[in-house]
């Protein structure tokens, strides 16, 4: 194995729990423990623990912090309350997506940004470029190596995590956060996740919280299991949560990705506004579309999509969906061919197999 690959603080725990380790970008991470389908279903019905310490964290502080963040992102940082979190893309002037991220607001002078692991260097360079162009009076720190992150996800997540903290988790609403202690370790505790289930993500100093992974597993006992990247991907896919490098990339806009709700065109200005406004008004050439296979076969990323013999688009993610037990794909198609029930063909190993357009998201949990 490549010695330059990075390990999270919990690498030894992944080995201990029987994780099958793979290379994921620059990282060595577990793709599965007991099996992707079993892990996937366990998160939907009970609780899963994910090591997501590879994610990047930036801290923005200073008098111009709000002005900077609001210009950087397409969603609305001004309306964000203290202790509230935003999911948002950040775009270039031409509307293409640098990354999608979470923005945590401490105050108008302090924001915490959580970015994708594969994009940490690119994003930090981009943020600095924006900062310099705006002459923003802020300090921008890349704290990615100073934070470990665990995600506790599933219907039993709150009950399990509550046993380890005095913070009343019921008071944390979806996409809000507090600082508190988990088993004596100072953490950011946020009600967020990437599975389509209820759950929490906690951020902490890895030197102080190395025992937390074991502690959470012990506390959850039969109701929790460690989950690998494989199930993380199928869970987020069913819930139509974006994976950068698949649904979003340097050539795709959030309007095309059908996350227009994260693009607040009524803001006075932000990077990419003009192009995104134009796309919203005039439409786009491609739009993210859900497909369900009619013929037998499994669509995969990069497979081509055809209609009446013409190539019309491509798959961004596809798999046999464990909860829904259907062969599904997210694909970019022309809007006129992405109407519900429209039939297209996915090219799978030289065969043209029928699929129909279905409503997104594929999976939505029942709210209590």
Residue 21 to residues 24, 32, 303, Cα–Cα distance (Å): 9, 8, 26
Output 116 or 327, the one with its CB closest to another protein. Answer: 327
Residue 35, both tokens: 């099996």
User: Binding segment for another protein among 74-82, 187-195, 295-303, 358-366 (CB under 8 A)?
Assistant: 295-303
Output 229 or 331, the one with its CB closest to another protein. Answer: 229
The contact pattern for another protein, residues 183-222, with x = CB under 8 A and - = no contact, is ----------------------------------------
35: contact with another protein by CB under 8 A: yes
Among candidates 221, 217, 164, which has minimal Cα distance to 187?
A: 164
Which of 30, 230, 254, 313 touches another protein by CB under 8 A? Answer: 230
Nearest approach in angstroms of CB 274 to another protein is 40
In terms of C-beta density within 10 A (0-12 exposed, 13-18 middle, 19 or more buried), how is residue 226 classed? buried
User: Binding segment for another protein among 32-40, 197-205, 215-223, 275-283 (CB under 8 A)?
Assistant: 32-40
User: Binding segment for another protein among 108-116, 151-159, 173-181, 319-327 (CB under 8 A)?
Assistant: 319-327
Which of 71, 227, 322, 346 touches another protein by CB under 8 A? Answer: 322
Taking a C-beta distance cutoff of 8 angstroms, is the pair 39, 236 a contact? no
Output 21 or 66, the one with its CB closest to another protein. Answer: 21
36: contact with another protein by CB under 8 A: yes
What is the spatial distance between Cα 259 and Cα 251, in angstroms, rounded to a whole number? 15
Among candidates 68, 29, 20, which has minimal Cα distance to 52?
A: 29
Which of 75, 88, 234, 323 touches another protein by CB under 8 A? Answer: 234
260: contact with another protein by CB under 8 A: no
DSSP β-ladder status, 225-226 and 48-51:
parallel
Angle between helices 229-238 and 36-45 (to 10 degrees): 50
Nearest approach in angstroms of CB 299 to another protein is 11
298: contact with another protein by CB under 8 A: yes
What are 142's strand-pairing partners? 58
What is the spatial distance between Cα 319 and Cα 122, in angstroms, rounded to a whole number? 29
Which of 10, 13, 30, 32 touches another protein by CB under 8 A? Answer: 32
Among candidates 106, 184, 85, 194, which has minimal Cα distance to 150?
A: 194
The contact pattern for another protein, residues 326-345, with x = CB under 8 A and - = no contact, is -x------------------
Report CA torsion sign: 293, 249, 51, 216. negative
294: contact with another protein by CB under 8 A: no
Nearest approach in angstroms of CB 233 to another protein is 8
349: contact with another protein by CB under 8 A: yes
User: Binding segment for another protein among 27-35, 76-84, 156-164, 334-342 (CB under 8 A)?
Assistant: 27-35
Q: How many CA atoms lie within 13 A of 215 on its CB side?
A: 15
Q: Which helix or strand (DSSP H or E) is residue 287 part of? A: strand 287-293
Which of 9, 196, 297, 313 touches another protein by CB under 8 A? Answer: 297
What is the spatial distance between Cα 92 and Cα 203, in angstroms, rounded to a whole number? 29
Q: Site residues (CB under 8 A) for another protein? A: 20, 31-32, 35-38, 230, 233-234, 296-298, 300, 319-320, 322, 327, 349
């Amino acid at each position: 194995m490549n010695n330059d690959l990075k390990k999270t603080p919990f690498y030894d725990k992944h080995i201990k729990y029987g994780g099958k380790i793979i290379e994921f970008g620059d990282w060595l991470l577990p793709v599965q423990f007991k099996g992707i389908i079993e892990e996937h279903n366990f998160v939907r019905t009970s609780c899963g623990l994910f090591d997501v310490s590879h994610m990047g964290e930036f801290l923005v502080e200073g008098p111009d912090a709000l002005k900077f963040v609001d210009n950087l992102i397409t969603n609305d940082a001004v309306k964000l309350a203290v202790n509230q979190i935003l999911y948002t893309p950040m775009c270039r002037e031409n509307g293409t997506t640098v990354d999608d991220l979470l923005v945590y607001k401490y105050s108008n002078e302090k924001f915490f940004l959580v970015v994708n692991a594969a994009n940490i260097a690119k994003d930090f360079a981009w943020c600095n470029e924006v900062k310099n162009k705006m002459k923003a009076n802020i300090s921008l720190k890349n704290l990615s190596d100073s934070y470990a992150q665990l995600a506790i996800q599933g219907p039993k997540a709150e009950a399990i995590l509550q046993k380890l903290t005095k913070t009343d988790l019921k008071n944390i609403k979806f996409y809000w956060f507090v600082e508190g202690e988990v088993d004596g370790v100072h953490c950011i505790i946020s009600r967020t996740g990437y599975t389509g289930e209820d759950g929490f993500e906690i951020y902490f100093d890895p030197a102080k919280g190395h025992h937390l992974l074991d502690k959470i597993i012990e506390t959850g006992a039969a109701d929790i299991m460690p989950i690998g990247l494989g199930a993380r991907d199928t869970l987020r896919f069913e819930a139509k949560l974006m994976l950068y490098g698949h649904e979003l990339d340097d050539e795709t806009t959030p309007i095309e990705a059908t996350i227009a709700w994260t693009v607040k065109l009524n803001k006075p200005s932000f990077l990419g506004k003009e192009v995104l406004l134009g796309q919203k008004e005039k439409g786009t050439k491609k739009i993210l579309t859900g497909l369900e296979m009619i013929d037998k076969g499994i669509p995969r990323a990069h497979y081509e999509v055809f209609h009446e013999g013409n190539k019309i688009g491509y798959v961004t993610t596809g798999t046999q969906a464990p909860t829904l037990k259907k062969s599904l794909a997210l694909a970019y198609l022309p809007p006129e061919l992405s109407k519900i029930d429209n039939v297209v063909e996915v090219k799978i190993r030289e065969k043209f197999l029928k699929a129909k357009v279905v409503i997104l998201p594929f999976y939505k949990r029942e709210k209590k």
